[in-house]
């Protein structure tokens, strides 16, 4: 993505909507720039006439004019500053909201292919870099550029020859500044990438802190993090060196311009070709133009930093979700009577099938269970129903309608999910359960909690339903977390229920409590269960045994045992206390 294209896109998609506010800000900038330029303009009459003639009235008028120009400049600068700050923040908030919205609509496959730390870095570090660049660039292009133009006009009006001398020198700064800008963009990209890796590593450590402590790996992790911080430090220092090199460059070029003006202008004054007022007015304009010009030279580096960050943000925004609605999506209006998997195949990487030619049917109110060794494709299968992924071949049908033709939100409204890895938020019991249904009443939430056998331990907690349970429910037990998840599903009250090894990580006592809650949840619902403990699915209407992505056996618990096949072996292994590894997905 070329930098010109990036800048145009940023202007078109995020800056242009605020053109009215920016127009007012530009007017304020122009007024402030004119007020700045008026000061050196008035220096000539002050030195050539007022001071020589010793006119008190003229001196008073001159002082009033200077004071007015400063007041006008201050008020205009205030207006410009407030407007630009507001617009700059709104632009960045728009980008963050757009990025967040895009991420929430992205496929699960997308999140599997990018590190969470990198996403956080792009969402925070890159967007903050863009905030600085947008603010600096808009102000620089507006205020500093206009101030420089008006002061340049004063210089050419006072002495075009002297102005020519000064402007022979200034263009020579373009080449080194351009080279510095390109180096700045490259090192900024590397720095932002390293920040993403660093953030990701910190996330892993904090999430796995129990393992770090259990294996006494504190010193190892400290060494690793120091190495990563040193790598990041080198990039940051390198970036600072490159950016700081603009200062001596601009100072040197500015010094040459001033020396030339003083030398030639002083010679003209000494030989009475110019008045002292002419030289003072010109020098005043030149010196006042130096600061905005210097800021404009730094503008290139700031823009390169911002464009490098914008590139990383737009890379995310340009990833189109593969799972999206059809042109004319269908909404399910009648009750769900049948679910049919017809010759379904699925692959995560388009190379090896995780599922191959899977076919089965589910009727309203039935419980269908899937068992098998780790990696046999059980969880992959039920993840296809809510379209977390799309099938590679075949199709899934609800009431005879291909789910690809259904509205995605409408489809997911029909489904509740309880998984092995319970996802809870750093919020209260109430808020976590309420996630199942927007605008649910407190009575509804309490009823769902009671049905999930969670009401008792919730009421016994410090603040009852308002107790904060910590990130991912860290302050409550595994069994309690599962019952909160079940309460959430109860509250949603969807006709289809997906259970993905919901009790496999629990101890026996917790499993019994959770299974009792699950039995209530499953009542009168069409349920698809991925099971590790076979004792939990003995009453299922149909049990499908998977192996290497294929259904190799199907039947009831009793009929499968009588076949003395794979299911029977799994059953015997568990009842003989043999090790049986729960599936990963």
pLDDT tens-digit readout, 70-81: 888 889 888 888
Q: Report the alpha-carbon distance of residue 268 to residue 264 in Å, rounded.
A: 6
Q: Report the alpha-carbon distance of residue 375 to residue 285 in Å, rounded.
A: 75
> Which pLDDT belongs to residue 35?
86
For 387, which DSSP code? T
Q: How far is CA 332 from the centre of its chain?
A: 33
**Angle at alpha carbon of residue 558, lines to 554 and 562, rounded to 5°:** 80
499 — phi, psi (to 5°)? Answer: -115, 115
Q: Is 23 exposed, middle or buried (0-12, 13-18, 19+ CB in 10 A)?
A: exposed
428 — phi, psi (to 5°)? Answer: -80, 165
> Which pLDDT belongs to residue 5?
76
Q: Is 544 exposed, middle or buried (0-12, 13-18, 19+ CB in 10 A)?
A: buried
Cβ within 8 Å of residue 144, ≥6 positions away: 292, 293, 295, 296, 299
- The stretches in the chain having pLDDT less than 50 are 578-585
> Which pLDDT belongs to residue 201?
76
> Which pLDDT belongs to residue 281?
79
Token duo for residue 374:
């780790």
Q: What's the count of helices (H) and strands (E) in the chain, helices before strands?
A: 23, 10
Q: Report the alpha-carbon distance of residue 140 to residue 323 in Å, rounded.
A: 43
Q: For the chain, how are helix, strand and coil distributed in percent, rounded to 5?
A: 65, 10, 20
469 — phi, psi (to 5°)? Answer: -100, 0
Output the 3-class SS for 10-43: HHHHHHHHHHHHHHHHHHHHHHHHHHHHHHHHHH
Instruction: Look at residue 419 and give its three-state secondary structure.
Output: strand
- Residues 436, 490 contacting (CB under 8 angstroms): yes
Cβ within 8 Å of residue 177, ≥6 positions away: 246, 249, 297, 300
Token duo for residue 10:
């940023």
> Which pLDDT belongs to residue 428?
92
Instruction: Look at residue 153 and give its three-state secondary structure.
Output: helix
Token duo for residue 479:
């069994």
Global model pTM greater than 0.95 = no
> Which pLDDT belongs to residue 344?
95
> Which pLDDT belongs to residue 352?
84
- Residues 368, 546 contacting (CB under 8 angstroms): no
Bridge pairing between strands 393-398 and 401-402: antiparallel
- Residues 564, 403 contacting (CB under 8 angstroms): no
Q: Report the alpha-carbon distance of residue 340 to residue 400 in Å, rounded.
A: 8
Q: Report the alpha-carbon distance of residue 515 to residue 263 in Å, rounded.
A: 93
For 331, which DSSP code? -
> Which pLDDT belongs to residue 581?
42
Q: Report the alpha-carbon distance of residue 553 to residue 567 in Å, rounded.
A: 8
Q: How far is CA 461 from the centre of its chain?
A: 35
In the block, which residue shows the tokens 């410009």? 80
- Residues 558, 528 contacting (CB under 8 angstroms): no
Bridge pairing between strands 393-398 and 338-347: antiparallel
Sign for the CA dihedral angle at 226, 229, 231, 237 comes to: negative
- Residues 139, 287 contacting (CB under 8 angstroms): no
Point out which residues pair with 401 in neighbouring strands.
398
> Which pLDDT belongs to residue 557?
93
Nearest to 84 by CA among 144, 34, 39, 37: 144
Domains and CATH numbers, the chain: 3-317 (1.20.1560.10), 416-493 (3.40.50.300)
């Amino acid at each position: 993505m070329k930098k010109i294209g990036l800048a145009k896109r940023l202007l078109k998609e995020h800056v242009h909507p605020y053109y009215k506010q920016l127009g007012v800000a530009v007017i304020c900038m122009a007024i402030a720039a004119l007020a700045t330029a008026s000061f050196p303009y008035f220096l000539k009459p002050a030195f050539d006439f007022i001071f020589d003639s010793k006119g008190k009235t003229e001196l008073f008028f001159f002082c009033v004019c200077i004071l007015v120009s400063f007041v006008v400049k201050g008020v205009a600068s205030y207006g410009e500053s407030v407007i630009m700050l507001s617009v700059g923040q709104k632009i960045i908030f728009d980008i963050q909201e757009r990025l967040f919205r895009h991420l929430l609509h992205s496929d699960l496959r997308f999140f599997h292919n990018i590190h969470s730390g990198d996403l956080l870095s792009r969402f925070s570090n890159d967007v903050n870099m863009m905030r600085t660049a947008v603010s600096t660039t808009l102000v620089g292009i507006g205020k500093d550029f206009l101030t420089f133009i008006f002061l340049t006009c004063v210089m050419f009006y006072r002495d075009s020859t002297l102005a020519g001398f000064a402007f022979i020198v200034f263009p020579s700064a373009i080449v080194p500044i351009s080279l510095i800008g390109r180096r700045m963009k490259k090192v900024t990209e590397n720095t932002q990438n390293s920040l993403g890796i660093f953030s990701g590593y910190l996330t892993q450590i904090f999430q796995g802190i129990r393992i770090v402590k259990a294996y006494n790996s504190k010193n190892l992790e400290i060494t690793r993090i120091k190495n990563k911080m040193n790598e990041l430090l080198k990039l940051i220092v390198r970036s600072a060196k490159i950016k700081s090199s603009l200062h001596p460059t601009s100072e040197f070029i500015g010094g040459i311009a001033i020396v030339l003006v003083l030398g030639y202008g002083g010679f003209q004054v000494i030989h009475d070709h110019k008045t002292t007022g002419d030289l003072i007015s010109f020098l005043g304009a030149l010196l006042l133009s130096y600061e905005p010009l210097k800021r404009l030279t730094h503008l290139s580096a700031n823009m390169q930093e911002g464009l490098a960050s914008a590139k990383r943000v737009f890379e995310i925004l340009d990833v189109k979700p593969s799972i999206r609605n059809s042109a004319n999506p269908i909404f399910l209006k009648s009750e769900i009577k049948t679910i049919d998997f017809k010759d379904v195949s699925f692959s995560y990487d388009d190379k090896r099938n995780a599922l191959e030619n899977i076919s089965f049917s589910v009727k309203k109110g039935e419980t269908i269970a899937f068992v098998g060794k780790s990696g046999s494709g059980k969880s992959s299968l039920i993840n296809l129903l809510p379209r977390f992924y799309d099938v590679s071949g075949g199709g899934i049908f609800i009431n005879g309608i291909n789910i690809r033709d259904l509205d995605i939100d409408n489809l997911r409204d029909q489904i509740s999910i309880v998984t092995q890895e319970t996802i809870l938020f750093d919020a209260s019991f109430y808020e976590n359960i309420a996630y199942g249904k927007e605008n649910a009443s407190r009575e509804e939430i309490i009823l769902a909690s009671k049905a999930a056998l969670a009401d008792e331990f919730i009421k016994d907690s410090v603040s009852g339903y308002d107790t904060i349970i910590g990130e991912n429910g860290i302050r409550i037990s595994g069994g309690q977390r599962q019952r909160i998840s079940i309460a959430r599903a109860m509250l949603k009250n969807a006709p289809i229920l997906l259970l993905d090894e919901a009790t496999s990580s629990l101890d026996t006592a917790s499993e019994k409590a959770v299974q009792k809650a699950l039995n209530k949840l499953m009542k009168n619902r069409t349920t698809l269960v991925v099971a590790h403990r076979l004792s939990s699915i003995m009453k299922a209407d149909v049990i499908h045994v998977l192996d290497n992505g294929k259904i190799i056996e199907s039947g009831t618990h009793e009929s499968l045992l009588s076949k003395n096949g794979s299911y029977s072996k799994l059953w015997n292994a568990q009842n003989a206390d043999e090790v049986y590894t729960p599936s990963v997905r």
